[in-house]
Each structure stands twice: as structure tokens, then as C-alpha cells.
Amino acid sequence: MVKTGTSKDMRDNWCIGYSRRYTIGVWVGNFSGEPMWNVSGITGAAPVWIEVMNQLHYADNNPEKKAPQSLVRKEIHFPQGVEPSREEWFIPGTEPNAEDQRIGQFNQRIIYPPSGTIIALDPDIPPDLQRIFFISQPRTGHLRWVLNDRTIMGGDNNSPWTPRTGSYTLSLVDEKGRIIDTVQFEVRGPSED
């Protein structure tokens, strides 16, 4: 796919395009902004783009890269014609199931803190005045936050918590006790690295 263009008053022209392996943009013009008469995108930037693309593909003796064997390929379906079906690659265990793909079905998940986050307490603010906001999305009711196996509050979309140093497992749990999402994070004090 390639697209060319020319600026007003023929000051410059460009060509941008891509192949399966490369994306290239070429700009041709006078830095002074003076017009380039009798030069268009097809006669200025496009020949340069073609030459660069041909050279890259000529020098590239490697066959098309293949996905690592550890990935799983799965067809994704979009009901009601929202988008055409397509195949995507996933890390095993992250591929969506039929339930995940239902239109209007948004899986509740923890947005903040992301798993693996290290939160540092601010040494200039008293610890009791500091807050971390647990954020879930989309916002729905009847959920609760569970921190290190202890319910700490309802699962509101934006729930404040007073942090203490330590390692934590935070879960979002539904009314039937099912864990919807879980993240792990750490809170460090001012003197910790």
C-alpha cells in the first residue's frame, strides 16, 4: 500500500507506504520552502520510496518470520458484523473464549495497580494521608476488593486505600465468591530501594 501527496504551492511532496516487513516514508522538498516546479509525489518522493523498498527486500534474504511455537493461534469472532473474523496470536492462557467474545460482555478487570507495580510512599507526606486508588473497569456493582485474602471494601470503580509497606495480592471478587481478576504489587517505604 502506497500513498503520495503534494503540499500547497508545490513546496514539497511525500510518499508513504508499507510492505509486510517495512514501513517507509519519504519527504522531498526544499528546506527553504521554495516551490519545486514540475515535481510531484509520483516523480519526486515515489521513486526514492521504490528504490529503498526494493533495496530492503533485495538485501533481506530471511524468509518471513514465523511466530514462536509457544504462541497459540485463535480465530476471533465479532458478532453482529461489528468487525470481520480474523486469526490472532496469543500467549497460552490469554486467548479469549466464546464467553469473552460476546458483544456487550465486558470482562471486569483491575486497571490500577497493574500487576508487578512497585509503589513508593512519599517521604514528605505522612503515611496516614497517602492513598492508592484501586481502579476497575468497566464499572459494575456487586463486586468487592480482597487484599491478601481479606475483604477491604466494595468493588467500586475508584476505591481509595491507605498503603502500608509490604507485598500484596489484590483480587476483584464477584457476589458468588469467584475471583474476577488478580494482581500483585508491592509498597515500599521511603528508605527502601
Is 80 strand, coil or helix?
Answer: helix
Count, in order, helices (H) and strands (E) of the chain: 1, 13
Residues 25, 30, 34, 38: is their CA dihedral positive or negative?
negative
The pLDDT value recorded for residue 16 is 93
- 5-9, 112-116, 125-129, 155-159: range with lowest mean pLDDT: 155-159
Report residue 125 CA to chain centroid gap. 33
d(CA 77, CA 97): 10
Q: Where are the beta strands (DSSP E) in the chain?
A: 2-6, 12-18, 23-29, 72-76, 86-90, 109-112, 117-120, 132-137, 143-147, 150-154, 158-161, 166-174, 179-188
What is the mean pLDDT of the segment spanning 124-149? 82
pLDDT more than 90, % of the chain: 17
110 CB burial (10 A radius; 0-12, 13-18, 19+): buried
> What is residue 8's DSSP assignment?
G
- Count Cβ neighbours within 10 Å for each residue of 133-167 and write b for 16 or more, e otherwise: ebebeeeeeebbbbeeeeeeeebbbebebebeeee
What is the mean pLDDT of the segment spanning 164-193? 86
Give the CATH fold of the 109-188 domain. Immunoglobulin-like (2.60.40)
Q: pLDDT of 82-108, one tens digit each?
A: 678 888 888 887 877 665 555 444 567
- Report residue 136 as a C-alpha cell: 476497575
The pLDDT value recorded for residue 107 is 62
Q: pLDDT of 33-49, one tens digit each?
A: 888 877 766 778 889 99
pLDDT at 185 over 90: yes
pLDDT more than 70, % of the chain: 80
Rg (CA), the chain: 27
Chain region(s) in the chain for CATH 2.60.40.10? 109-188
Report residue 135 CA to chain centroid gap. 18
The pLDDT value recorded for residue 103 is 46
